[in-house]
């Protein structure tokens, strides 16, 4: 068994300057506290002096390979943006593009303190390979567009993905089914997807209630909201990660709470795409599990989970005119343990014995970390994702002194840039 000791480290809830220790065996935390277990013979010791240890952040929604389209098209109306910019270039992407786009997104996330992410896109075998190589934790689904001619091929790909990768590396990779959205998936296709997911004991991730237009369209066609429709189709019995949930009725939220639908809240994507502001305070009041996500880099335009955490902590105070809503503590839980629950990862997202050793050491020697009144509040309201100095996933050190250890960063930037130039010239 590989034994790791992180010593002289500060924690969110311990007094300033009080030194703590974290002991890790293989992929799990076995001890957190002031003493070092006497019989713990560490293979590696990391000195955490001046740093703060937290659980890694969990990005509950995105399309990681869209990093290749970062700032390719901004400040446009949604349909103009999709039809004239995003969809035409996405059509040209091949497995190589998807792989290097995923690598670029993963290096950004790991270096920024995000140790786990959700994905829904194409060529997912290549995304899974990128996760395997870099060491990041992930919940992957094949994006399923039910109005596409190759809809059945896509569904079959999702099942192959599940067969190949479900539970990989002690459960570091999970596979879900990814029906894209109510407006791109007719009911008969959704029924097929649900049956196939059930047959493979997999959960679902889906865009739901992202825009008012989507909800209005579904209500007009089916006489019920997207949440009511998915409930009627039995989707929620499988376990569902619902991305966005900006436009919900009170009854929708009651259904979601009763059926344990978990929400991927993407505050910045919803702002930038002018979708609106999700009723997060109301969802939390109903007891719904809400994680946070960045969405794809073409609608964000980075994969910075600390920004999303801050946005979630700030935004809902203003829309409710209540400064007590989504306090720093809740925002941080949403960014970590609630996100892990959202993605179905057990024993993940807390810095305590028995949990997966997904750990970030934050460098606090930055101006906005002084004076040190409240580390939790400073992390959520003041710090930068670039403060992530050392990052472990499942006990493996993947970032050290801000540098990726598991892959050549320079090669990733060069290949991502090359793929993009090739795509633009296609």
* Pick 192 or 330: Cβ nearer a copy of itself: 330
Contact 262, 341 (CB under 8 A): yes
196 is in an annotated binding site: no
H or E segment to which residue 215 belongs: helix 212-222
The Cα–Cα gap between 270 and 300 comes to: 9
The Cα–Cα gap between 72 and 360 comes to: 31
Q: Which of 220, 371, 401, 425 binds a copy of itself (CB under 8 A)?
A: 371
26 is in an annotated binding site: no
Asked if 275 touches a copy of itself (CB under 8 A), the answer is yes
Of 31-39, 134-142, 348-356, 382-390, the segment contacting a copy of itself by CB under 8 A is 382-390
Asked if 407 touches a copy of itself (CB under 8 A), the answer is no
Residues numbered 85 to 144 that lie near a copy of itself (CB under 8 A) are 104, 107-108, 111
Residues numbered 13 to 72 that lie near a copy of itself (CB under 8 A) are 67-72
Of 56-64, 145-153, 160-168, 313-321, the segment contacting a copy of itself by CB under 8 A is 313-321
Residues numbered 325 to 344 that lie near a copy of itself (CB under 8 A) are 325, 327-328
* Pick 31 or 407: Cβ nearer a copy of itself: 407
Q: DSSP class of residue 131?
A: H
Residues 6+ apart with CB under 8 A from 221: none
H or E segment to which residue 205 belongs: strand 204-208
The Cα–Cα gap between 237 and 411 comes to: 43
The Cα–Cα gap between 117 and 114 comes to: 8
207 is in an annotated binding site: yes
Of 76-84, 135-143, 221-229, 281-289, the segment contacting a copy of itself by CB under 8 A is 76-84
Q: Which of 20, 60, 176, 268 binds a copy of itself (CB under 8 A)?
A: 268
The Cα–Cα gap between 12 and 16 comes to: 9
Pairing relation of β-strands 51-55 and 3-11?
Answer: parallel
Q: DSSP class of residue 356?
A: B
Q: Which of 1, 149, 367, 425 binds a copy of itself (CB under 8 A)?
A: 367
End-to-end CA distance of the chain: 50
Residues numbered 178 to 237 that lie near a copy of itself (CB under 8 A) are 212
Q: Which of 7, 28, 40, 78 binds a copy of itself (CB under 8 A)?
A: 78
Residues flagged as binding site: 61, 63, 90, 142, 180, 207, 210, 295
Residues flagged as binding site for substrate: 90, 142, 180, 210, 295
């Amino acid at each position: 068994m590989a034994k790791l000791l992180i010593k002289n480290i500060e924690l969110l809830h311990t007094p300033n300057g009080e030194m703590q220790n974290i002991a890790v065996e293989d992929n799990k935390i076995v001890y957190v506290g002031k003493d070092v277990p006497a019989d713990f013979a560490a293979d590696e010791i990391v000195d955490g002096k001046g740093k703060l240890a937290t659980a890694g952040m969990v990005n509950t929604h995105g399309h990681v390979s869209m990093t290749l389209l970062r700032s390719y098209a901004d400040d446009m109306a949604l349909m103009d943006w999709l039809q004239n910019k995003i969809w035409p270039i996405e059509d040209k992407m091949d497995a190589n593009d998807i792989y290097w786009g995923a690598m670029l997104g993963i290096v950004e996330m790991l270096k920024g303190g995000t140790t786990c992410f959700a994905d829904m896109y194409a060529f997912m075998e290549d995304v899974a390979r990128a996760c395997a190589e870099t060491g990041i934790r992930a919940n992957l689904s094949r994006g399923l567009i039910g109005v596409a001619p190759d809809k059945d091929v896509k569904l079959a790909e999702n099942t192959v993905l599940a067969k190949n990768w479900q539970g990989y590396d002690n459960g570091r990779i999970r596979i879900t089914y990814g029906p894209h959205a109510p407006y791109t998936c007719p009911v008969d296709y959704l029924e097929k997807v649900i049956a196939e997911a059930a047959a493979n004991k997999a959960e679902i991730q889906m865009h739901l209630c992202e825009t008012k237009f989507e909800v209005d369209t579904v209500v007009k066609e089916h006489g019920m909201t997207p949440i009511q429709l998915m409930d009627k189709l039995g989707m929620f019995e499988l376990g569902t990660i619902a991305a966005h949930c900006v436009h919900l009725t009170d009854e929708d939220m009651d259904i979601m709470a009763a059926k344990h639908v978990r929400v991927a809240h993407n505050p910045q994507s919803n702002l930038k795409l002018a979708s609106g502001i999700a009723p997060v305070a109301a969802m939390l009041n109903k007891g719904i599990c809400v994680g946070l996500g960045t969405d794809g880099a073409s609608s964000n335009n980075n994969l910075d989970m600390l920004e999303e955490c801050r946005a979630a902590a700030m935004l809902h105070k203003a829309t409710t005119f209540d400064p007590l809503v989504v306090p720093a503590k809740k925002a941080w839980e949403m960014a970590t343990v609630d996100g892990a629950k959202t993605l179905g990862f057990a024993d993940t997202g807390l810095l305590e014995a028995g949990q997966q050793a997904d750990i970030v050491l934050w460098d606090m020697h930055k101006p906005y970390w002084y004076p040190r009144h409240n580390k939790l509040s400073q992390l959520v309201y003041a710090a930068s994702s670039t403060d992530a100095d050392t990052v472990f996933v499942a006990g493996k050190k993947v970032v050290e002194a801000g540098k990726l250890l598991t892959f050549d960063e320079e090669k990733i930037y060069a290949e991502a840039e090359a793929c993009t130039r090739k795509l633009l010239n296609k």
